[in-house]
Structure formats: C-alpha cells, structure tokens
Structure 1
C-alpha cells in the first residue's frame, strides 16, 4: 500500500500499488487476501487454473494455519497509468481480518488480490436509476454515479449507522437512512417508468428490498440487479462452505440469497 486516508470516522481509503487493473463495471470488486498474524505478506492462494468452484475448493482446503483470509471489496477508483487502485474499508471494533489490517496498515504493507469482476449492466431503455445499499455498498454506489452518462437521473438510498458516515455524492438525489430500515424508507418513493434498480449490501436487507421492489412496487425482475455482499454473523469462508455444500447436494448455491 502507498497511502491510507480516513475519509469518515469509520472508513479508510487505502491505495494499493503494483497492478494495472481495469474495472469491467462500476461495481467491480476484487478478492483481497490478507497476511495472517506474524506474516508480512499473505501466503498466496492456489492459482485459478480451471473453474472458479474448483479453485474455491482448493482455497478452502488449505490448512487454517496457512490459508490467507479473503474478503471481497469494491474497487473505488483505478489509475492504470500509476499501476494503483483504491479500496474503501469499513473499520470498527471487533472487526474481521480486513478491518484489522486496514486499521493498522502501514506504508509498504502487502496484500494479494484476484479479479476484478462486477455485475452492473444497465438494460437498454432504462431512463433512470435507483441505487440502494448499506455502508459496504457506498464505494460501488459512488462509482456508479460517477460513471453515469451526463443528465442521467439517479436516486440513491444509503443506510448508515451515524450521520458522520455520510459522504458527498454529487450528481444524484441521495437519501441517507440513519439507523432505519431501507424498505420503510423506500415505501413512499414513487418509481417512474423506465427505472433500473441496483441493490447491494447485507444479504437479508438486499432480499427484503428486492422483494419490495418486485412484489409491492411491481418492478420487472429484469429491472433489478442485486448482490448480497455479506451475511450477518457469517464470515466469507462460512458463506463459501455453505455454497459448496449446496452444490454438492445438487442445489442452487444462491437459493438462500436474494
């Protein structure tokens, strides 16, 4: 890393150097691998030589003592000419390996990464955009707003724990939902024709918002993009193992997702 800036009391923007990455979509994310306690650099995960499921099995099969913790983060900005990119980390007490690393990162600290990949594609004919997410979705929401063609109507609903976590998002009509429910915040919002909705954040919240938009507001399923970034009380490894168990049982690994 080359810099760490505290952009809100609970968010650190870290610049990582050494990779000329190109984001395929504004919400593109990378999988970051962090060093274990006592390590300067993470032990590299196995290379991706086949399908992603086989790679993930190999990664989870690594012994706990050597497997580098992995977390998925949105790429906030890229500067290919400088071979660097920015990642915003939510940091808090009792955080996981990514939060702990970002809270104490020093110049020259090293992580590994895989990606990037994203899901944000606006359907042809969409005239305006609705963006809904929690704090973990803020980097993607900001990037989507910045990448939108000039004059595109954008409305965003973002949940945060405190007013101090609000960020400047010029170019969009933003409602900050502080310690409240996003579905309730959306309930009295008029959805004009031609909307494309993008939802991301904690999985149960994403599921509830998606159901509200489709079942109660009447949006077509194809007009809603969604991604459960994380699950309450479960690590990314826990979620991955559950997905593999479902695959082995012949089930859809995302059936419990939104």
Structure 2
C-alpha cells in the first residue's frame, strides 16, 4: 500500500523518504534497548583472575592483601609511647636554699659506735652552715639534694666508710607591717625585694612614710629604704630573706 503511494513520487523524493523512515526506526530501537537495560539484571565484569588465558599470554595480575596472623609471622610491634624524664623537683617546691632558711640535717647509716646528733641551723649571710668535726659547707644557692650529696662527700671516705644525710627545710615566711593595707605574714616562695613585698601587702596607706621603710634582718640589723630612690635605682631596693621584717612607719604630717 505504502509502495503504491510512493510509486508516483520522483526518485529523489522516494529515497529521502526511505532514509527518514529508517532513521526513525533506528532511534525507536535504541530507546527500547536502553529501557530494557535499565530494567534488566546488571552483570559485573568477570573477575580477571578467572579469565581464560590464551597460550603465550601473561596471566592477569591479581590484587593481593597482606596476610595477617599467619603461623610463624611475627606480630607487628605495638606503638611505643614516648617517655619523658621524670621532673626533678625540690623539697617543698621552694627551689634553692637561701640565706635565712632554717634547715635540719640528720645523719644516719654511720658505724655502730658512731652517733651524730641532728643539727638545726639557720643559714647566715655568708651562706655557710657549721657541721660536726669542725666542718663547714656552703648551703645557700643549692638544692636540698645537692647539699645532701656534698655533705656525704665531705665525710666519706675521709672520716667514715659510709653515711647517709637528710636535709629538711622549714616553711619560710617574711613579715610586712605598719602603714600597709594588708599587714600580715607572707609565705616566702622565692626571690623578692622590699618594694615587691610591700605590693604583696596591698601597698601603702595614705599615712605611710615612704622615705623611711625599715627592713630588719634575722640577726637584728636594720636597713632604711627610701621608696622614691629605690624606684629610680634598683640597687637601693634590698632583697628580702626568710624571717625578715618590713615595717612602714606613719608619717608625722
């Protein structure tokens, strides 16, 4: 029927019409294949390891996983935690032994016929302490452990074959009184000067005589400090030692 309809058309027109019809059928077929592929089952590519190998062809490479826990295989070494050396602290956390400190030195592990009584001593201005058998040693500026070792080295082996020494420090305080806002006893925790000690006590009151601050040492010596001059020249701001007393007098007018 369609052939009869095209029979009367020119040859070029008939050829063009057939081309259009064929292209349309091809497009319809392609769409059908796509739709059937979407709804049909999906097939993965076969494992290349199972593919047939033709003569003379190299076998396909396979992905291998490292074997774990195989007999005779050493287990991986566990990650080692980093270690840091233990911190070496000083007794009481107060650092070095200083002038004015009170310490107790105890001797032990001496020969059976030797007994040395413990000594309690306050470190003087020169930093030395007296020891038995007319010995002296520099104590200020050292840690407790350093002082213990040096005392042992002083007696062993010169006087005894063996000895143990224990050094203990007392709590250290200084005192600030007079015309300050918070007169009190304060824990000595390290190097401090007169002006800083007054700041620790809250500073001056309105009636303070800042020109004649009295610093009294443990041995009774007194030092007069002028606040304004000490501000300009740090050399005029003396260091405070444990058990020192600072008194700010009241001005007359």
TM (norm. structure 1) is 0.22
TM (norm. structure 2) is 0.22
Point out the structure with the larger strand share.
1
For the pair shown, the structure with the greater C-alpha radius of gyration is 2
Q: Greater RCO between the two (CA within 8 Å, min separation 6)?
A: 1
